Chain A
Amino acid sequence: NAGVTQTPKFQVLKTGQSMTLQCAQDMNHEYMSWYRQDPGMGLRLIHYSVGAGITDQGEVPNGYNVSRSTTEDFPLRLLSAAPSQTSVYFCASSSPGLKTYEQYFGPGTRLTVT
């Protein structure tokens, strides 16, 4: 199993550009989430999904869109990048069936917006 994979690992954008961060998991987990990690802060939840076709907002959803058309994939879209979105982005998955709610994390994407 590859677990949770994220692409790209690094990305530099100019202000106003758009892009999609990709996330995929091969563990058949129902739940998937996106977090951002800024210096001196913990991970903050951006959006999450409890199953295909279902998404919801977390703590810091503004400026980001998500969709969940399959169980495996959960892409995060930045519609118009801003310097405030410079951060490290983590995708995670979990399964309520495991009764533990442990999140399995991807390796992260470092995004810089200039």
Chain B
Amino acid sequence: AQTVTQSQPEMSVQEAETVTLSCTYDTSESDYYLFWYKQPPSRQMILVIRQEAYKQQNATENRFSVNFQKAAKSFSLKISDSQLGDAAMYFCAYCNNNNDMRFGAGTRLTVKP
């Protein structure tokens, strides 16, 4: 079964600085999708960014970008110009073509003013 590992339970960043959250996964499949979700205290799961495994180009969404290393099975999230509203739990997730989605344990991000 696919597994997703987030090795940083907590991270902290100064407002306006850059932070990188790590994620690795294990799979024998060649076609899959990777996601970063944000969960604020409201509990709502919010999609931050997605990456299709067949695409070599790293996905970017405004201040959020990923470093996707398919051979290393690594999928890190970089947040630039961090804002107070970025404080939340961040979950890395893997999904195959059968809609079987697996999540990492999460990283709690704190943003210091």
- Bound together: yes
Q: Which residues of A contact B (CB under 8 A)?
A: 31, 33, 35, 40-45, 48, 50, 58-59, 88, 90, 92, 94, 96, 100-103, 105, 107-108
Taken residue by residue from 100 to 111, chain B's Cβ proximity to chain A (1 for < 8 Å, 0 otherwise) reads as 111111100000
Closest to A103 in B: B101
A105 to B45, CA, bound (A): 6
Q: Which residues of B contact A48 (CB under 8 A)?
A: 99-100
Q: Which residues of B contact A103 (CB under 8 A)?
A: 35, 45, 47, 95, 101
Q: Are A50 and B99 in contact (CB under 8 A)?
A: yes
Q: Which residues of B contact A88 (CB under 8 A)?
A: 43
A18 to B: closest C-beta gap in Å: 25
Q: List 6 A-B contacts (CB under 8 A).
A: A33-B101, A42-B4, A44-B103, A58-B100, A59-B1, A103-B45
Q: Tell yes or no: B91 within 8 A of A by CB.
A: yes
Residue from the list B33, B35, B100 in contact with A45, Cβ < 8 A: B100
Q: Are B44 and A107 in contact (CB under 8 A)?
A: yes
A90 to B50, CA, bound (A): 20
Q: Which residues of A contact B104 (CB under 8 A)?
A: 42
Q: Tell yes or no: B28 within 8 A of A by CB.
A: no
Identify the interface centre among B35, B95, B99: most chain A CB within 10 Å of its CB. Answer: B99
Q: Which residues of B contact A31 (CB under 8 A)?
A: 99
Interface size on B, residues (CB 8 A): 24
Q: Which residues of A contact B1 (CB under 8 A)?
A: 59
Supposing A42-B4, A43-B91, A59-B1 touch, asked if A102 and B47 sit within 8 A by C-beta, the answer is yes
Q: Are A94 and B43 in contact (CB under 8 A)?
A: no
Q: Which residues of A contact B95 (CB under 8 A)?
A: 101, 103
A73 to B43, CA, bound (A): 22
Q: Which residues of B contact A59 (CB under 8 A)?
A: 1, 102
Q: Are B99 and A41 in contact (CB under 8 A)?
A: no
Q: Which residues of A contact B43 (CB under 8 A)?
A: 88, 107-108
Supplied contacts A33-B101, A42-B6, A102-B35, 11 more A-B pairs, CB within 8 Å:
A35-B103, A40-B105, A42-B103, A43-B93, A50-B98, A50-B99, A90-B45, A101-B50, A103-B47, A105-B44, A105-B45
